[in-house]
Amino acid sequence: MIKLTNKNLIAIRNIAFLSFLSIISCDSIEDKKGRFLLKGNEKMDENDSKSAISFYEEAIKLDSSYFDAYYNKAMAHLKVNQLDEAIHSLDDAIKVKPDDFESYFQRGLAFLDNGEFYKSREDALKLKKLNDQSWKSYFLSGLVEEKLKNYPEALSSFEKAVSLDPKNSDLLVNQATLLYYLKQPETALQILEKAEIVNPTEPNLHNLRSMIYFDAKLYPEALEAVEKAIALDKGQAYFYNNKGLYLMYLGKMEDGLELINQSLKMDSKNPYALRNKGIYYVFKGDKVTALQFLNDLSENYPDMDLVQEYLQKAQAL
């Protein structure tokens, strides 16, 4: 029987420790960067975008050509509305993979949200070159042309997108929205019926339907439709603004104003809510306050529905 002395035990412990160090030192950069990526993904699942970004940055320090880290970092920035940072990360991702479809799609959407419409249009064109059979190529194109107020071109793009993915309720609602802008309300309502069959819980279809009913002076129906939209999504400022307008037209002035003010608290820059406040003061016979709202809107948004009508009414008070 071999007896182990303290000296033998120390030697064994040292060997074990050295073996552990050897394992650590042999840990490849590939393994390390992969762990940082996974940690970042875990933080994204926990809705901790800030920590996720830090982990992705650590991965990038180890490999400046790590596509997944750049792309996921961009998604983390988007989640917290850091549009410039997201665009920069997607730029880096595209440098690594110049033909990655999803990177161009996400960057195009980010450009759109950032007000860089022509850059978004360039990404839409790139998407069509990469894959002209994807609905996303035409969806982005439609969104861009809508922002640029090229409504016939936008409608054509959404129609193409729908033909490629006819069960996509978002595409159908966008198609209906363009028809509404182009003063084709009956056709828009028909498209909304299709969208509702596909996805009855899509709040935007109910909101758009309410707007069409309002234009047709069907105020109770408009109110009922927008209330469905709010029940499905309580976080959209413009739903409350529309409901406030409809209530005013139904004679519930103070209830309407309360909802319009609630909408402005959620989005203080919404010109439609400011218009509706101007309309409120016209109804109340307050010429001075009404003109404060409506004169500015007439100058900055001269083509907005109801602005010129209520400006004239305010001036006549």
pLDDT at residue 244, rounded to an integer: 97
Give mean pLDDT, residues 205-227.
97
Average pLDDT of span 15-33: 57
Counting Cβ atoms within 10 Å, is residue 111 exposed (0-12), middle (13-18) or buried (19+)?
A: buried
User: What is the CB-side half-sphere exposure of residue 241 using CA atoms within 13 A?
Assistant: 22
Q: Which residue has the tokens 């529905």?
A: 305
Q: What residues does each domain of the chain span?
A: 37-98, 111-196, 201-268, 282-317
Domains 37-98 and 201-268 share a fold: yes
Reported as a single tens digit per residue, the pLDDT across 40-92 is 899 999 999 999 999 999 999 999 999 999 999 999 999 999 999 999 999 99
Structure tokens at 137: 């190529």
Average pLDDT over residues 228-243: 96
Whether 263 contacts 256, CB under 8 Å:
no
Q: Which CATH class is domain 37-98?
A: mainly alpha
What amino acid occupies position 85?
E
User: Residue 96 has which token pair?
Assistant: 């690594």
Over range 150-175, report the average pLDDT. 96
- Dihedral of alpha carbons 305, 301, 206, 253, sign: negative
Return the C-alpha torsion angle 183, 186, 192, 193, nearest 10.
Answer: 180
d(CA 174, CA 191): 10
Q: What are phi and psi of 185, to 5 degrees?
A: -65, -35
pLDDT for the residue numbered 31: 83
Superfamily of domain 111-196, CATH level 4: Tetratricopeptide repeat domain (1.25.40.10)
pLDDT digits (tens, 9 = 90+) for 93-147: 999 999 999 999 999 999 999 999 999 999 999 999 999 999 999 999 999 999 9
In 3D space, the residue among 245, 265, 268 whose CA is nearest the CA of residue 255 turns out to be 245
The correct answer on CATH 1.25.40.10 for the domain covering 201-268 is: yes
Measure the CA–CA gap between 210 and 82, rounded to whole angstroms.
33
Phi first, then psi: what are they for 28, rounded to 5°?
A: -75, 160
Strand runs (DSSP E) across the chain, as ranges? Answer: none
Residues 6+ apart with CB under 8 A from 257: 244, 248, 277, 280
CB 251 within 8 A of CB 259: no
The distance of Cα 167 from the centroid of its chain, to the nearest Å, equals 20
Using the predicted structure, report yes or no on whether residue 16 has a pLDDT greater than 50: no
Helix (H, G, I), strand (E, B) or coil at 149: coil
Q: How far is CA 99 from CA 65, 94, 127, in A?
A: 15, 7, 9
Residue type, 209: R
pTM of the model: 0.82
**CA dist., res. 71 & res. 52, Å (int):** 12
**Looking at residue 301, what DSSP letter applies?**
-
Tokens 């802008």 correspond to 181
Provide the percentage of residues in the chain whose pLDDT is more than 70. 91
The pLDDT, as a whole number, for residue 235 is 93
